[in-house]
Structure 1
């Protein structure tokens, strides 16, 4: 099969998912694609272009909602699609959060435009839309990065953190923390994304 930009990005994304961004060199991508490194430069300009291409692919995996839906329904569909796509490829979220990559493609821009359209249709002005958009991305990044954190061997402690909190937190000294601690022990960022999204959408609705 002839080498194409799409093939290069497909191989690079698979390599990044498996080995992380540190392993994503032009030489390794070429080896995984079964070509010489110089062949890649016919399809990607450099590593920055490669990272941008991977990021664009992840955005392009998100389906655009029916424009006839209410703004909050469109926003929910887009946010859910991005969350699912980012969760499949958390390495791309790390590149985005570090500002090492940007979603540079027409398809990716259409997803962003649909998000902004939904926020504009909520009745927000341009400044408020920009703030809401950044807040949504922050929620997405935080949820995905926390939920897909590497699970290596944790540092050994004489006392596990849960035991420390239970020992230190008393109703007399820290009444609010004591009251909520059992709920904090059972929750996680992944399961709370829908709740966070509800809060954001609720805050955008006109009073």
Structure 2
């Protein structure tokens, strides 16, 4: 179907109608397949709609990008408070790195965004995990920044590592343990 065959303007309602969830799901599938964030045109082509139809659901590309990345970050481990905080933090970090590995272009997308929606999701999960430590706002923020910078650096090292020894997500256990010991002593 080319652009001439597509209906312009507001999408039609029906059983195969377009909605935010369909757009987000398709964008995530394209990211998984291509390793990068799809353009509005690529997304419209995959959905067989006019590119302008995207703007009925999202005010601009940044709005769409934020919705897609929030949807992806929402897949990261959500603390249950059933285990110790150290295990919860490890699961959060592991699942975040798995997500970044599964979607190779996601980290660069997150780092280039001006919105904070995806970071807010991760932050709220982190704060829930460490809430019983009563660290205070400044230490919570500083420890989160340290952890996230470490995880992003590790994700980049995993992605671009050219050596014969591949980095494994489990390799973060030592540094993560150090961060956990520091948090307990504060």
The interval holding the TM-score normalised by the smaller chain is: 0.7 to 0.9
Residue number among 75, 83, 87 corresponding to 1:73 in the alignment: 87
Does the Cα contact within 8 Å between 1:54 and 1:92 map onto a contact in 2? no
Pairs within 5 Å for 1:36-47: 36-47=50-61
Alpha-carbon deviation of 1:78? 1.6
Matched, 1:123 2:137: no
1:164-187 deviation line (CA, Å, top 9, x unaligned) = xxxxxxxxxxxxxxxxxxxxx857
Say which SS state the counterpart of residue 90 (structure 1) adopts.
coil
Does the Cα contact within 8 Å between 1:86 and 1:93 map onto a contact in 2? yes
Which structure has the bigger radius of gyration?
A: 1
The Cα RMSD (Å) is 2.7
Tell me which stretches of 4 or more aligned residues in structure 1 moved more than 4 Å: 108-111
Question: Normalised by the size of structure 1, how large is the TM-score?
Answer: 0.70
C-alpha separation in 2, matches of 1:103 and 1:73: 25
> Structure 1 regions of 5+ residues with no counterpart?
152-161, 163-184
Structure 2 equivalent of residue 148 of structure 1: 159
Structure 2 equivalent of residue 18 of structure 1: 33
Structure 2 equivalent of residue 202 of structure 1: 181
Does the Cα contact within 8 Å between 2:40 and 2:54 map onto a contact in 1? yes
Say which SS state the counterpart of residue 205 (structure 1) adopts.
helix
C-alpha separation in 1, matches of 2:127 and 2:67: 22
Structure 2 equivalent of residue 180 of structure 1: none
Closer, same or farther: CA 150–4 of 1 in aligned 2, 3 Å: farther
Structure 2 equivalent of residue 85 of structure 1: 99
Alpha-carbon deviation of 1:115? 0.9
Aligned length: 171
Matched, 1:96 2:107: no
Structure 2 equivalent of residue 6 of structure 1: 21
Say which SS state the counterpart of residue 41 (structure 1) adopts.
helix
Does the Cα contact within 8 Å between 1:122 and 1:205 map onto a contact in 2? yes
Alpha-carbon deviation of 1:109? 4.6
Question: Normalised by the size of structure 2, how large is the TM-score?
Answer: 0.77
C-alpha separation in 1, matches of 2:19 and 2:64: 13
